[in-house]
């Protein structure tokens, strides 16, 4: 209890930064998920190949190494990203690669007849995706996206290693100051869990509200 009182400002700042990192990298990850996921369905082989290279690179290498690379190596090449930017780019790019598979998978799983019907109505491919395929795929994307969102929130703990004062960093400071280990870790465990619970609630709500608008049974998120 004393711990919370003394280190209250540090913990609040850490929690806010963790939330900020999660939200910003989630936006980046979502944009990348759709860009890369759709690019993998492109008619042009070159676009498909580029998307595949992106996917395999960011999914196949460690997020921590990517973050260190952006933070310590890019400045040597003249590109100096702020710690926050390096953190959200590394988290967002990494999770975006997983997300692109969610997008691709969901679109692929829309019945073939839908695509054929769009063709027979002479829809352009933009219209086909925009008005037929994506709207039907989105509800299916929500549960796996919810999963990834929580994964992303936990991934932001890595940013404590590139000088960002997030929640994990706050715990490390408390440990150096007080030599306590159980208490600060238990405390941030609970805070992480609470944030995750909010994220679960949000995806649940999103799934339900989409379903309600379309008058269908929601895909359960948990």
d(C-alpha 37, C-alpha 103), whole Å: 5
Q: Which is nearer to another protein, 114 or 178 (CB)?
A: 178
User: Exposure of 136 by Cβ count < 10 A (0-12 exposed, 13-18 middle, 19+ buried)?
Assistant: middle
> How many residues of this chain interact with another protein, rule: CB under 8 A?
28
Smallest gap from residue 170 Cβ to another protein (A): 10
Q: CA torsion sign, 192 to 197 to 198 to 203?
A: positive
Among 57, 72, 193, 205, binds another protein (CB under 8 A): 72
Interface with another protein in residues 75-114 (CB under 8 A): 75-76, 78-80, 83
d(C-alpha 135, C-alpha 129), whole Å: 8
DSSP, residue by residue, 135-190: HHHHHHHHHHHHHHHHHHHHHGGGGGGGT---HHHHHHHHHHHH---HHHHHHHHH
CB 59 within 8 A of CB 97: yes
Residue 177 main-chain phi, psi, to 5 deg: -80, -35
> In sequence order, what are the residues at sequence separation of 6 or more whose Cβ sits closer than 8 angstroms to the Cβ of residue 1?
none
Q: Return the closest-CA partner of residue 61 out of 102, 26, 98, 94.
A: 94
176 binds another protein (CB under 8 A): yes
1 binds another protein (CB under 8 A): no
Among 35, 42, 125, 172, binds another protein (CB under 8 A): 172
Q: Which is nearer to another protein, 169 or 192 (CB)?
A: 169
56 binds another protein (CB under 8 A): no
129 binds another protein (CB under 8 A): no
175 binds another protein (CB under 8 A): yes
Smallest gap from residue 217 Cβ to another protein (A): 40
10 binds another protein (CB under 8 A): yes
57 binds another protein (CB under 8 A): no
Q: Which is nearer to another protein, 122 or 176 (CB)?
A: 176
7 binds another protein (CB under 8 A): yes
Count CB atoms within 10 A of the CB of residue 222: 9
Return residues touching another protein (CB under 8 A).
Answer: 6-7, 9-10, 13, 71-76, 78-80, 83, 161, 163, 165, 169, 172-179, 181
């Amino acid at each position: 209890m004393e711990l919370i009182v003394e280190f209250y400002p540090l913990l609040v700042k850490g929690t806010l930064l963790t939330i900020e990192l999660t939200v910003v990298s989630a936006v980046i990850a979502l944009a990348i998920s759709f860009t890369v996921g759709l690019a993998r369905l492109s008619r042009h082989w070159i676009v498909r190949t580029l998307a595949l290279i992106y996917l395999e690179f960011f999914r196949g290498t460690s997020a921590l190494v990517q973050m260190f690379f952006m933070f310590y190596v890019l400045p040597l090449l003249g590109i100096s990203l702020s710690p926050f930017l390096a953190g959200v780019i590394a988290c967002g790019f990494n999770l975006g690669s997983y997300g692109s598979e969610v997008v691709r998978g969901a679109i692929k799983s829309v019945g073939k007849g839908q695509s054929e019907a769009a063709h027979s109505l002479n829809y352009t491919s933009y219209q086909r995706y925009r008005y037929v395929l994506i709207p039907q795929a989105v509800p299916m994307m929500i549960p796996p996206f919810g999963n990834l969102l929580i994964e992303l929130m936990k991934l932001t703990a890595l940013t404590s290693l590139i000088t960002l004062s997030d929640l994990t960093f706050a715990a490390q400071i408390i440990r150096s100051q007080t030599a306590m280990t159980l208490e600060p870790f238990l405390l941030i465990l609970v805070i992480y869990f609470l944030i995750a619970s909010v994220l679960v609630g949000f995806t649940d709500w999103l799934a339900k509200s989409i379903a309600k608008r379309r008058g269908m049974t929601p895909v359960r998120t948990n």
